A and B are shown apart, each in its own frame.
Chain A
């Protein structure tokens, strides 16, 4: 590391040793590097290096039409990619001034909450693995597979979903999808309860995670933290509650808040968020039944591709199809910032449009990137094993870190 002073091992008793917690990690945390100066088992200081998976999303986005940017947003936080997709679609809809029918909003809410549950399954499961408890993770992965099956039924792919279109969805949820979602809501609560019973009052887990990496609310706000880790410090900032999008104001849910921001609190906040997400999904299923069942997109022929039968038979549909695909549709020359509550925090899209086919500038406000800043400072004075747990409780997804 050029930027970090290297101590030679002339006298091992008085020199610090350098440990490279390198880009290749055991356990799939992602590729980022921490060079730590160690005094035995205790970390004296650390330097973080990221960028090992920098794929230049923002530059690519300047060269792609709006509907082709959705697969890019998938790969930001790939553990919960529908949230990224929906956030991007909502940003473009805000720019174009399109409002969605209620049913589309509720469908979006279901998918986003399923994605949040999927991400928290991975995060809490991996936190368990890092403390040595493999069982919870393996048991919960099965339910992540059930969520994958729901995604597959809705949009065809498991992980990087590219679900939805600007203006709604590409196809309606069929009965199989609804049945799978209902089955998930019936089966998952028992599993989550069992997962909690494995960890919440487990003496070993509590001893390992309580009072580790405690963060005050002032520090967290100064470092621009958002998401479950900020809520674990006591600040109840949740974009879904503060600036509701996609009809979240119609739902009755609570925002769980912790006390002192340590790893145990973050774990509990994420678990509780999973319960609240289940609540929201059940309410959304009930609300969707009351809406007419064939609406799955807004009536905006200028931005939403017409069905293929009409394109081949109808002149207006053909012209719309041509204009949308070739990018001849007028879009406002304006800037918009839209934020959604991603699984890690406030995922923001800052879109500067110049009226053309592609954005002039698109910036992603990525929560993992901003949350991870504090890691090197936090790990000063910590034991190495505590620093590992701290890293996994921050839930840093490498795709979102580097974009």
Chain B
């Protein structure tokens, strides 16, 4: 089966979810769409189970933080892949930073389990319905979310680094 054209993809999505799915870009051949967190489970499930689309493979699940975009600070990004048609798609959901809840994708793909834990660990995104949402890569008693833009890269508690040599 050949690759599904991006126009066909976006048309099918808009037909099924009118007004709830918007196309963001088609950079480098990969279609990016945005949807809301209420519809995300339906959209992903449609993409996975539709007999023509068959996006059965969840390639990646991650997040991004835009501190200036008010009300849409945290973006949760899903990369899906349809192995039979060799098509990829990127789905984004933007959620505000004071209410970082989004339904989990573990009901559709078992592989989303650790991907969501990693996203929670780094950005603080809470996946409702996740069986075991706790930190995975950082130390368990960390209270902050390190990949957010306000968190510094270096350990602020170091006493042995001389500021003079680092231009501070």
Contact = CB atoms under 8 A, between A and B. Distances in A.
Direct contact of A and B (CB under 8 A): yes
Interface of A: 2-3, 50-51, 54, 56, 58-60, 62-63, 94-95, 219, 221-225, 235, 237, 242-243, 334-337, 339, 346, 348, 350, 352, 360-361, 363, 365, 369-370, 372-374, 402-403
Given A56-B146, A337-B30, A372-B114, 17 more contacts: A3-B134, A50-B136, A56-B153, A59-B151, A221-B83, A222-B111, A223-B109, A224-B115, A235-B83, A237-B57, A243-B86, A335-B32, A336-B28, A346-B59, A348-B59, A369-B114, A370-B114
B113 interface: yes
Contacts of B59: 224, 339, 346, 348, 365
B10 to A, nearest CB: 17
A90 B69 CA distance: 30
A373 B122 CA distance: 18
Contacts of B52: none
B145 to A, nearest CB: 11
Top 5 nearest A-B pairs (CB, nearest first) are A224-B111, A51-B137, A54-B137, A223-B111, A365-B60
A361 B64 contact: yes
A350 B77 contact: yes
Contact of A63 (B137, B146, B153): B153
A128 B88 CA distance: 38
Contacts of A374: 110
B137 A50 contact: yes
Nearest to B88: A337
Contacts of A403: 137
B130 interface: no
A223 B112 CA distance: 7
Contacts, number: 95
B137 A94 contact: no
Nearest to A242: B86
B79 interface: yes
Contacts of A243: 86
Interface in B87-142: 88, 90, 109-115, 118, 122, 132, 134-140
A317 B115 CA distance: 45
Contacts of B109: 222-224
B45 interface: no
A334 B60 contact: no
B83 A237 contact: yes
Nearest to A219: B110
Given A337-B79, A365-B59, A222 B147 contact: no
B27 A336 contact: yes
Given A60-B153, A235-B83, A335-B27, A223 B60 contact: no
B128 to A, nearest CB: 20
25 contacts: A50-B137, A54-B137, A56-B146, A56-B153, A58-B147, A63-B153, A221-B56, A223-B109, A223-B111, A224-B109, A224-B111, A224-B112, A225-B111, A237-B83, A335-B25, A335-B27, A336-B27, A336-B30, A337-B88, A363-B60, A365-B59, A370-B111, A370-B115, A373-B110, A373-B114
Contacts of B60: 337, 348, 350, 363, 365
A133 to B, nearest CB: 32
A142 B81 CA distance: 39
Contacts of B112: 224
Nearest to A374: B110
B58 interface: yes
Contacts of A223: 109-111
A54 B138 contact: yes
Contacts of A372: 114
| Interface core residue of A334, A337, A350 (most chain B CB under 10 Å) | A337
B153 A363 contact: no
B140 A2 contact: yes
B124 to A, nearest CB: 15
B23 to A, nearest CB: 14
Contact of A94 (B25, B28, B32, B65): B28
B27 A51 contact: no
B62 A350 contact: yes
Nearest to B64: A361
Interface in B58-89: 58-60, 62, 64-65, 77, 79, 83, 86, 88
A374 B114 CA distance: 10
A51 B135 CA distance: 9
B125 to A, nearest CB: 14
Contacts of B140: 2
Contacts of A361: 64-65
B52 to A, nearest CB: 18
Given A222-B109, A350-B79, A370-B111, A334 B153 contact: no
Given A348-B79, A361-B64, A51 B138 contact: yes
A51 B58 CA distance: 23
A35 B25 CA distance: 45
Interface string B29-44: 0101000000000000
Contact of A363 (B27, B62, B113): B62
A62 B30 CA distance: 23
A205 B114 CA distance: 32
